[in-house]
Each structure stands twice: as C-alpha cells, then as structure tokens.
A and B are shown apart, each in its own frame.
Chain A
Amino acid sequence: MPKKNPVILSGDGTADPIDTWWWLSHKGTTTSFLCISLFALLIRSAVSMFPYSGAGTPPKFGDFEAQRHWMEITTNLPAIDWYRNGTHNDLTYWGLDYPPLTAYQSYLHGILLRTFSPESVSLFSSRGHESYHGKLLMRWTVLSSDVLIFFPATLFFVLVYHRDRTRRANSEVAWHIAMILLNPCLILIDHGHFQYNCISLGLTLAAIAAVLCGSEVLTCVLFSLALSHKQMSAYFAPAFFSHLLGKCLRRKNPILSVLKLGIAVIVTFVVVWWPYLHSVDDFFMVLSRLAPFERGIYEDYVANFWCTTSILIKWKKLFTTPSLKSISLAATILASLPSMVQQILSPSNEGFLYSLLNSSMAFYLFSFQVHEKSILMPFLAATLLALKIPDHFNHLTYYALFSMFPLLCRDKLLLPYLTLHLLFTLIYHSPGTHITLPKTKTSSFSFTSFPGYVFLLRTHFFISLVLHVVYLNIQPPQKYPFLFEALIMILCFSYFVMFAIYTNYTQWNISSHFRSADKEKKQI
C-alpha cells in the first residue's frame, strides 16, 4: 500500500545509482502504474464510504440524486424524450443538462442498477431513493468508470510523455503517476461528492496523449467524445484547436490536414448526437439544455473573476444576462488568446500542455456559469506539468482544494478532505525526493523571484490556515452569512490569478527559449 515516489538524482551522477524508490519501480512504468493504481483504487473505494452530496436532504438532494435520476429517466424513456419536458420527465427536477454521451453512460449504468436493485431506478417511485445497496451500486459505477477510462488514459499519457526517459528516471515517472492518480480534487469530487468527471477528464487526457504521440485524428475523436460527455471540456478546446491548427499550418497541404481533422470531429459528433439530429427542433432542444444561461453569470461562491469582483461591482444589476453573456465570452477569449497565439505560432508538446492549463484557467476565471468543481479542468492540466513546475503545482493543489472547502464541508466530507490533503503532501514530499526545479535557463528574470511574491504566498497560506479553523468553528455574523465563503473565494481567486500569469509567462518563455536555441544551432 505504498505509493512510490520519485527521486530525482542529483544531476552530477555522484548520487547512489540505486535511488530510494528503486525497489518499487525497477520493473518499469507499467508495473509501477499497476502498483500505484491499486493504491489509488483503495483510496477511492475508502472515500466512497463517506456521504455523497445531498445525502438525506429532501426534497432536492444533490448531485448524487441528479445522476440517479438521469439513470431513471434514460432507462425508462426513449432517447428522444430524455431532454424533453413531458408528463414522464419533469425537467425542473434535475433535468438532464449534459450532452448525449452522459445520457448514454447513465443509460448503461441505469441498466446495471436495474439488474441488481430495480427499485432504485423505477420511474417516479425512485425519486430520492437512498439505500445501502443503491449507494454502493452507484459508487461502484464511478469506480468502474475510473478504472475503465481515467486509469488507462493515465497509463497512455505516462507512457507517451515519458517515452524518452531512461530507466533511472523510473521513480520520477512513478511519482508523476501517483500525482495524477492520487489527485485529491478529482477523488473528492467523483467519489465523495459524486460525479463522473473521471470520464470526461479521462477522455481529455487520452486526447492529450494522442497529441503527444502525434495521432491527430485520434485526438479529434477522443476530444469530441469528451466534449459530448461534459460541455465543460470546452475549457480545453482553445488549446487543442490552436495546437492542431498550428501544426497543420506547417504542413505541405494545410487545408487538407485541417479538413481531415474537421471530418473526424464532425463524424464523431454526428455519431454521438444521432438521435437528436433528425429535426432542428430536437437539436436545439438539447442544445438549450446544455447552456443554462438563465442561471446567471455565477452561482454560490466560486473563485472566479465575476463572482469575486461582484463584491465591488454588481454585474447582475449593471447588465442584462444577454450582454453579460457577450462580455464574459469576450473576456474569456481575450484571456485565452495569448496561449492560443503562442501555440499557433510555434506548436510544441510542452507548450501545448501549458496552453491547456492557460486556456482552461481562462475559462475558469472568466466564463459564464462556472462551478467550484470546474477547477478540476485547469488542475488536471497542471497535474500533467507536475514535474515541470512542482512548486506551483503543489500550491495550486492546495488552493484548488481550498476553493472547494465550503462545498466539501456541506457534503460532510471534512475528514476525507483533510486526509487526502495529508496523503497528497506525503506523496509529494516522499523521502528521498528532492524535486529540484529544472531552472529555466532562458531568462535571468523570473516571476517567482520577486521578493514580494514569496511574502505574498506565505501571507496567503497563513490566512488560509486561519480561515480553515474559522470556517469550522465560528458562526458568521448574521448580516453577512456567507462572509467566510467570500473570504475563501477572494483568497483563492488571487492565487489563481498569480498562477495564471506565471503559467502564461512560462508558456511564452518556452517558445523564446526554443527559438533562441534554434538560432544558436544555426549559428553553429
């Protein structure tokens, strides 16, 4: 039950040739992956024993009930009625608002539930169904989705991403696997709170791996599937789009390459959306379900730009919803533009990973209707870069988790929150690990070397610790019942902004590094 961690040998080669974690990683990446994934599964199944969101809180319950309700709808009604309000499908009660692939997944899981526990998905009578076996079966559907999609995708990514590494780096690779698979945010949301992010994120991860190994058609198919599972996958779309476009433009026949990829995307979408493509009405009916603009630009206390600045500027009062839509769209595009431009100009694998991070962070910060849980998107991208920016990744994990703290507290997941945090910290700092940041040789100037930055970071950290304690122990003043949530939001938002600036800056730096390296080569 150990996790294995990495040791980066001190570069001069004088270090012991057999590192501290050699004994667990000596058989190669696949074996370490097996070992870590068993541990990760153990942690997941343990977390799944804790309560889910909305447990025992009628009448609306929470995300668990939403997913169960979708299974109930999809197994009992024909596909065309899934998104339509009708006598059998009351869309105001957790109506299906994810794309068709989620519906199909609910259908498959619903069939499974019907086989073993028919009462948990029977039409109408199962509303608010909560039972030992019902919970267990639902939990196991998430576990199996993880095993079938996210875990293989991780293995695919790790094999491709680390293909050039020597056997010495085995433990470093193992550390990276552990960082991806033991990602506390994903575990808490999927196996604690209850969602199926592992599917869309797994498909995205596989698409990323496909980019790294150069099979672009596969990328398009996989990413289209991810988009058809959860529309939030669009957070990554600018990165995929710009990277693939940038690559195609460098080919002999740019138009042909773009066409090829376009066809792959269209075919995938047509296949997935087939039941809803028979009439324009049906199509727009589904589409309108996916974009619930009437819910406003933000909900609750999410650490993004709109919600945080609303303390000072009452966006909802100043603008109408349609104009807010355009404003947020413009802001999002503007924020993701730098990373897109960089990828179109000089597409590179490393730059692509940064651009995934930057575009998803731009969406998180500026797009319309963002949830706390959406931090999973930028966080996944950051996880992939864990070996490049270990310190920042560590801090991001902390604040990403912290931004979901009020949510997880509501779900009664405080203990798993703290424990997974502890576990993450332990694995991150596993003995023998000296994660030394590969210094970017390109610039003597670094964002993080500002003296103020470190001070700011420490202050942030200190305040967040205090807020944890305060949130748990002190009743907020009656006049401001959500005072502490707002404080947590501001704190996380300011960190996310700093992080986004840093990663954008780094992304642009890589390209200048490559370019200067190219120049040097030419000169030689």
Chain B
Amino acid sequence: MDHLLWFFAVATAVKLLLIPSYRSTDFEVHRNWLAITHSLPLSEWYFDETSQWTLDYPPFFAYFERFLSFFAHLVDPKIVDLRSGIDYTADSVIYFQRITVMVSDLSLLLGVHRLTRKVEPLKRKLICVLVVLSPGLLIVDHVHFQYNGFLLGWLLLSVSFLQDGRDVIGGFLFAVVLCFKHLFAVAAPVYFVYLLRHYCWTGLASGLRRVVGLGAVVVAVFAVAFGPFIYNGQIQQVISRMFPFGRGLCHAYWAPNFWVFYIILDKGLAFWLRKLGFDVQVPSASFTGGLVGDSSPFAVLPQITPLTTFAMVLLAITPCLIKAWRKPQPGLVARWIAYAYTCGFLFGWHVHEKASLHFTIPLAIVAVQSLEDAKHYFLVSIVSCYSLFPLLYERQEYPIKVLLLLLHSVVMWLGFAALYTNEKALKKKEKKESGEIKSKFEIGCVEKIYLMGLVLVEIVSQFLHPYFLGDRYAFMPLMLISTYCAVGIMYSWIWQLRRILT
C-alpha cells in the first residue's frame, strides 16, 4: 500500500496547488445542488428551478450532495443558500468544494488498491500512476470541476470484485454507480450478460435462485435510490431531468467521436451537391443547438435520433456481449467494460468529451497485461487527454494542461519501457553496468506520425489560426482538434474490437 498511498499523496499535493485555477460552470452547478439538497425537502429536489443549473443526476448523487451540504453549512452557511449563494465565489466555497473532490477521490484509491493488490509490484505502480495521477482526471475533476474520480473509483471497485469472482458484490456496486451517474449505464449490457452467464448459468433450479437473488440486490439498490421519488409520484420528473433528449446530437464542443465524421460528410456532400447544381436546403437547426421541431440539422444525410444512436451503441457492443456469453472470464471484464464505454463514447447521443475518462481509466488496468495493450494505451490515453484540452481554454492553465500531458507521456513511456524490458538482457547489463537497455516497448511508425500530428494540430489551432485568421472561423480550431482526435479514438475502438474477437 505504501507506494499507492505515496502516489495519492503526491497527487493530492498537485490537486491542492490547482485550487485557484479556472473553474467551469460545473462548479456552480454542484454548488447549486448543495443548496437545493440542503434547503429543500426531498420532494422538491427535482422540481427546483431557482437557478438554471437544475439537478439532473440520479438520486444517489443528490444524496451525496445532501451529505456534503451538511459540512458546507458548517463551513459557510452562504454556500448552501438557494438564492444568495448563486454565483458565490468566496474562498470558503472554492476551498470547500475543491477539497470535497480531493477527499472523495479516496474511493479511487480504494478501487485501485483492491484491483491491484495481487498484481506484481511494478505493474501495480504503473497502474497507480496511470490512474491516480491521470492527467485527464486532474483536468476534468480538479480544474474543470467534477466528481469523476469518485465515481470511477466505485466502478473500479466493482471490477475488482468481478475479477475475484464475487459477482454479487460486483453487480451491487455497479448498480450503485448507476444510481450516482446514469451515463455509466452504457456498460450495463456487459454486466447483464456477464453476470447472467457467469453467476446465474448453473443449472435451472440454482440458476433461477441466483437470478432472483441478484435481481433482488439490484432492485433493492434502485429502490433505495428512486423509492422516495416513486412514493411521491415524481418518477417521471426525475427521469425527464436525467435524460434531456432535447439537447443536440453533439455537445457544443464536439466530442471526438463517430458523429464528427458524419457531420463533416454531410457538410461536404451538401457543398459538392450545391456545386453540381442540386438545390440543397441549408438546415434551419444547428446540430449543436438541439432539435427544434421536426427540422433536421443535416442537409443531405438522414437525421439521427436518440433511438438511432442507442441502436448503434448496442450493435457496436454486441460482439463483446457474444464473447462474454460464450466464455465469461473474470480476467477480461475490465477489457469488456472499457470497450463498452468506448462504443458509448463513439456512437452515443450528446456525448461529452469528458466521457472519454470512462474508458481510459479502466483501460489503464488492461494496459499492463501485454505489450500490445501497452502500445495501444499509450496512444489512446494521449489522444483522449489531448481532446480534453479545449475544456481549459483560459491562458493561465495553458502550461498546466500541456505539462500534465507531457509528463504523463514521458512517465508512461518510461514505465512501459521498463515493464517490457528483456530481463535477461537487463541482468547482463547489470554486470557490465553500462550501455543502453533495449526495451521491447516501441511505438510503431504510423502511431508516431499520428502523435506528432497532435503537436501540429495544437500549433495550428492555438497559434497559427489566431495569428492569421484572428476571430474568423473561430470554430475551426475546435473542429480540427475533435476531428483529429476522433481518428485516434476510432482506431482505438477498432483495435479493441479486434482484440476482443481474437
């Protein structure tokens, strides 16, 4: 445990120093939730509209905020004041909320500890560095402000129980995670198939008993979460808050996923068809602004509805489900879950760039399993971290995000190189005490060029574009980043798919 604790402490020191950095509106969102849950009775939580940042996470997260608000009230009563607390930016609220994120990250520590306690020391250290000091988590949680580390900690804990073969606890924890943040539901099919096959498929009688048992556990979790709201007859309101399908296919900043290509294809087709003399209507709705009536944001290609995206995600996960059904191996669960989140990220509705954490963190556990996995992880974690850069658009944080990514890359490179070094060669060298140790960890040529391209993209979008074009085509840099990163994530998806199938 000492290494893990040490890394966690170092990470905490970095997080403490990030306290005065830029905060997104998510900070005020969470402060408002503290105020809602503290000042209002439970029956009004999902109805309150005092602030525009209404509560839209599942009940466990609301309970969690209620728990935090108790301390917030002790620190400074104004934090939890529904009206006068709006846009409150005193030191008290900043320190309090930032520190709650750091403390809640303890669940991440617990998750990593449990997951890696039987892994050999070097691999354990690596996983620990990749997860606890993940640049993505630092950027999203400790600068931008969210509680992803806390939730991912529970997810990792759930995975660790599944790997131990303790399926009921694993399933229970996953249900808990779902009641914290429903976006984690993308992996539910994997859990469902895996648990059904691995835990319940033991013959008719005992199998049925197990299905009922497991089902009871899950239902109990959901009952605790949603029960009070069902009792108050508010479940529809809760659900409608949680799934705001009125939002567009893509977030204001396009997450680097499949739909980026779809949109660009549409634009390109419309452009060329117009050139060729066809009469192509300019769409009245923008694809980021949400669906307005029946109008489609696309000029040529068919409209995409939430149902389409849902079907596509499910279709993409299917190969993994089949694999899980045929041979439910506990050792592969982390890989399958990461794959499911990758699919959700690529094809989902209104995906945020932050959701890439859902697969980069579980993939870190997979990364130490083989040389190929390490190479893949090296690429995907850099791409997903880079795609988070536009979140921190203020200049003050510029060196911080760049340094976080560079440091992560260097550490990863050193760590993987050490992990996949030929031990015999090492021992020989030990005797001679000199010379370079050859490692098997080398990045392929195409990957190298692609990663170098990231530097180019950054230079173009951050320096050349503002210098030559100023404010014109302000959307170009962001589009460039998400398109370029989307290529990397698509590659990662195909790679993972092949890996699962073979």
Contact = CB atoms under 8 A, between A and B. Distances in A.
Interface of A: 1-3, 17-18, 20, 22-24, 26-28, 31, 34-35, 38-39, 41-43, 45-47, 49-50, 132-133, 136, 140, 143, 166-168, 415-416, 418-420, 422-423, 426-427, 430-431
5 contacts: A1-B404, A3-B10, A45-B399, A49-B396, A140-B399
A18 B10 CA distance: 23
B17 A43 contact: yes
Contacts of A45: 399-400, 403
B114 interface: no
B416 to A, nearest CB: 9
A177 to B, nearest CB: 14
Contacts of B414: 23-24, 26-27, 31, 35
Contacts of A28: 436
A1 B408 contact: yes
A39 B407 CA distance: 7
Interface string B1-31: 0110011011101101111110000000000
Contacts of B118: none
B6 A26 contact: no
B267 interface: no
Interface string B242-265: 000000000000000000000000
B contact face: mostly helix, strand, loop, or mixed: helix
Interface of B: 2-3, 6-7, 9-11, 13-14, 16-21, 121-122, 125-126, 129, 133, 135, 138, 395-396, 399-400, 403-404, 406-408, 410-411, 414-415, 417-419, 421, 426-427, 429-430, 433-434, 436-437
Contact of A38 (B11, B396, B407): B407
B129 A419 contact: no
Contacts of B20: 49-50
A38 B410 contact: yes
Contacts of B122: 23
B267 to A, nearest CB: 35
Contacts of A415: 16-17, 19
Nearest to A46: B17
A38 B403 contact: yes
Given A50-B20, A168-B433, A419 B407 contact: no
Nearest to A3: B10
Contacts of B2: 431
B36 to A, nearest CB: 29
Contact of B400 (A34, A42, A168, A416): A42
Given A34-B410, A35-B411, A426-B13, 17 more contacts: A1-B408, A2-B411, A17-B430, A18-B426, A23-B419, A26-B421, A38-B410, A43-B17, A45-B399, A46-B21, A50-B20, A133-B395, A140-B399, A143-B399, A167-B434, A419-B13, A426-B6
Contact of A431 (B6, B14, B406, B417): B6
A422 B403 CA distance: 21
Contacts of A50: 20
Given A133-B395, A431-B2, A24 B415 contact: yes
Contact of A416 (B3, B17, B21, B429): B17
Most chain B Cβ neighbours within 10 Å, of A18, A42, A143, A166: A42
Nearest to B430: A17
A34 B411 CA distance: 10
A39 B426 CA distance: 27
Nearest to B421: A26
Contact of B21 (A20, A26, A49): A49
A462 to B, nearest CB: 23
